[in-house]
Every structure is written in structure tokens, then in C-alpha cells.
Amino acid sequence: MRRKSIDIITLGCSKNLVDSERLMRQLEEAGYRVTHDAEHPKGQIAVINTCGFIGDAKEESINMILEFAQAKEEGRLEQLYVMGCLSERYLKELAVEIPQVDKFYGKFNWKGLLEDLGKAYHNELHVERTLTTPKHYAYLKISEGCDRKCSYCAIPIITGRHVSRPMEEILEEVKYLVEQGVKEFQVIAQELTYYGVDLYKKQMLPQLIEKISEIPGVEWIRLHYAYPAHFPEDLLRVMRERDNVCKYMDIALQHISDNMLEKMRRHVTKEETYQLIEKFRREVPGIHLRTTLMVGHPGETEADFEELKEFVRTVRFDRMGAFAYSEEEGTYAAANYEDSIPQEVKQARLDELMAIQQGISAELSAAKVGKQMKVIIDRLEGDYYVGRTEFDSPEVDPEVLIEREGTNLRIGSFYQVEIIDSDDFDLFGRVL
């Protein structure tokens, strides 16, 4: 039995997770017993799906490979395979540096792994996946790659040009997942708003989301990783008109000063950014905005950083993440700018920015106390049922905690909940 067991370990983002889920379905069809992110992997074969986005992620991926390579050397593992973004980018170098790995695959040729195991790829299962998430929600990847050329970003180097999935195939996958019990879809891509340009010669995200919203059983649709330049504004109409399209937009803005937006090659200005945010809030009342910002990009002055802080204070994002610039080889920034801002300055700016946001988040959460909200229950943890509102995406956003005592709730079901308290990160509620 052990010989027929495979452990899959996924590092990095939800887009990688979808690839792992597709591979798992194929391996199960081939007769393997598959575990995902097991605390103590016990299979004779391991597959590591790597991330190669920034320095910390690359380091984590390499450490994980080395850990399993050692297990193989000690006889606790028979075969070791590596796939994903890090492997796509450094295929030849990794093969030389870590010879214990039986084979490295890139991000897109993982189907070759089945062949190397002596198994066939079942094309008829192309939309099927073995979900690693709770069965009531799933990530839905609508495209691969990115045509944007932001100065700091290695994603286009790793994933190549933007390639949209045909709309019919996406809708087929949604119907399949609904049959498996999925009610909530996190729509993801490297860059959502470009969807359709390659296949249909125009941005088709609004039409796609509208069609997904019409499928019976789809209760929540949430959008991740939009780009501000040339935003497809008809999407706001869809969001406003369709009850099952969450009033939630994850749009990475990175910075606000015109100096930095130009250096970052973002193709958008400070004024256009403010106008877009105002339009979101005017056209979709109650919308919650999530963004990601960057500090310490080459050329960021104290004045630029002050502008960024003022932006965060003024806009009051509902959700915000931030990270410090790290130089990525092959990018425009690495070739054309000097990474001259000291690491301690980057870290200090990051800490300061996140402290401002923490105060804003606490105030926005406190303003929800007394309100009634629709909540989906994700899990039971200790003394609490843990759920989310339509404004909260799994893994990254605040949660709603409901006392377990005297309550019997079903995982994956929706409830009307009154918010009775809040802290910096989470809400506390009681079921009505």
C-alpha cells in the first residue's frame, strides 16, 4: 500500500494549489492513494509544487526540496519529483544542485510526471480536481501568465504571456464543482482584468462572471488579483446587479506616488488610481477593497513613502497587505535600478505602513458591531465555529467567530449572524 501512496506538498499561492488538485485527481484515477500537505508524509513518492515569486518563497521551496532529498538519502522515500514556479525558472540549475530529485518539471509540463510513473493522462478529466479546500469553496483559475511588465515582478518570466481559458471550459468546471458541493468560488489569475483579450480580442471578465453567476448552486463569487490600468468597468454593474457576486475587489495597487508608479511601470497615475477607487465605491455601495502595496522599491524617497502613508489613511482600505521590495533577477528593476534602500529602512517602512492599516482595520471592524451579516461556516475550532462574510476571502481576511456552546451549526452552510464584538482582526457573532 505504501508503494502506491503519493504525498503532494504545495507551496505558494492558490494558483499553484489548483495545479496540485488537478494532478491529485489524475493520480487517484491512476490508482494511487494521495495525501496533500500531510503533517508527516508517509508515501514512497513525493511531489513538491514550488513557488518562485520572491526571495522568501524561493528559500522555503528549496528548504522543502532539501528536506525530502535527505529523506530519500536515508531510505525513507523512494522517488522525489519537483514541479511549479521555482522549477520552471531554475530547471537546469536545480537538477545540477539537487541530484537526489528524480525529475524536475516546470509549471506547465507536470502531465509528464504521470507518463514517467507509467500512467496515462486522462483528458476526459480535464476539469476535475480533488479539492484540498473545505468542500464548500474552491479556487477557480481562469487564465495563466501575464502580459504586464511591472519593473519588480518575475511572474511574466516564470509563467509567460497571458493565456485565457475558454469560457465554455471554465463554465463546465464550475458546474462540475457545484455537483461536488462547492457553493463559493474564488476567481483567480495572475491578472484577472486581462481575461479574454487573447481569445476574444476584448476584455471578457464581466461576461464570464455574469455567466458563472447564472449557474444554479453558485452562491458566492469573489474576485482576486485585478489590475488598475484599463479596468473593465462593466464588471461593477455585474457586481451591483448580481446578489451572488460578492461586493469585494482584490486589486493590487502597489503605490500611489506618480514617481513610483512610473518607476514600477504600472501604466496608471495617482489621479487615475483615486478616481478608480471613487468609482468602485460610487457604483457598488458597500464594496470592500483589498489591496497590496510595496515599500522600498528602488527610487522610493521619504516623500514618496509619506504620500503612500497618506493614501492608506485617506482611502481606508478594508483589507490591505504590504511587502518590501526584493530584487528578482531578470526583471526590469534588477537590470536598470540599484537596490540601494537598506533592508532595515524597507522593514521600518513596512512596519509603519502596516501599523497604520491595523488601526484602520480595527475601526472598520468595530463599525460592524450590531449589524446582521450572512456568514458561511468554514470549520469548528476549539470553542468556536469559524466563518466568513461575503467580504472575507479564505486564508487572508478576517473571520467571524461564533461560540460553539449551545449552537449546532453545519460546516459549509450559511447563517444570518449578528455581530456582537470585534478585535483588530476578527469579528464575534451570534446566530439569529
Helix axes 205-213, 167-179, angle to 10 degrees: 30
* CB 291 within 8 Å of CB 317: yes
What is the pLDDT averaged over residues 14-30?
A: 93
CA angle, 359 as apex, 357 and 360 as ends, to 5°? 65
Confidence of residue 38 (pLDDT cuts 50, 70, 90): confident
How far is it, in rounded angstroms, from Cα 285 to Cα 375?
A: 19
From the list 308, 194, 292, 298, the residue with the least C-alpha distance to 249 is 292
Instruction: List the grid coordinates of 176.
Output: 462540475
- Any idea of the CA torsion for 304, 308, 309, 311, to the nearest 10 degrees? 140
pTM assigned to the model: 0.93
From the list 340, 350, 280, the residue with the least C-alpha distance to 309 is 350
How far is it, in rounded angstroms, from Cα 114 to Cα 106?
A: 14
Q: How many CB atoms lie within 10 A of CB 34?
A: 22
Instruction: Give per-residue pLDDT as tens, 126-163.
Output: 999 999 999 999 999 999 999 999 999 988 888 889 99
Instruction: Give per-residue pLDDT as tens, 226-238.
Output: 999 999 999 999 9
Q: What number of CA atoms fall less than 13 Å from residue 10's CA on the CB side?
A: 20
DSSP string, 201-255: SS--HHHHHHHHHTSTT--EEEEEEE-STT--THHHHHHHH-TTEEEEEEE--B-
Give Cβ neighbours of residue 344 (< 8 Å, ≥ 6 apart).
none
Instruction: Give the model's pLDDT for residue 1.
Output: 45
Does the structure show a pLDDT above 60 at 220? yes
Query: Which residue's C-alpha cell is 512596519?
Result: 351
Count of positions (residues) in the chain: 432
Confidence of residue 3 (pLDDT cuts 50, 70, 90): low
Does the structure show a pLDDT above 70 at 2? no
Instruction: List the grid coordinates of 278.
Output: 471613487
Specify the range with the lowest mean pLDDT, choosing from 65-69, 267-271, 351-355, 372-376: 65-69
Instruction: List the grid coordinates of 188.
Output: 483567480
Specify the range with the lowest mean pLDDT, choosing from 32-41, 173-182, 268-277, 320-329: 32-41
Instruction: Give per-residue pLDDT as tens, 337-384.
Output: 999 999 999 999 999 999 999 999 999 999 999 999 999 999 999 999
Does the structure show a pLDDT above 50 at 185? yes
Confidence of residue 57 (pLDDT cuts 50, 70, 90): confident
Q: Specify the long-range contacts of residues 27-34, CB closer than 8 Å, at least 24 apart.
A: 27/114, 27/119, 28/130, 29/122, 29/125, 30/114, 30/117, 30/119, 30/120, 31/4, 32/4, 32/5, 32/6, 33/1, 33/4, 33/5, 33/6, 34/5, 34/6, 34/7, 34/8, 34/130
What is the pLDDT averaged over residues 185-206?
A: 96
SS3 category, 239 = helix
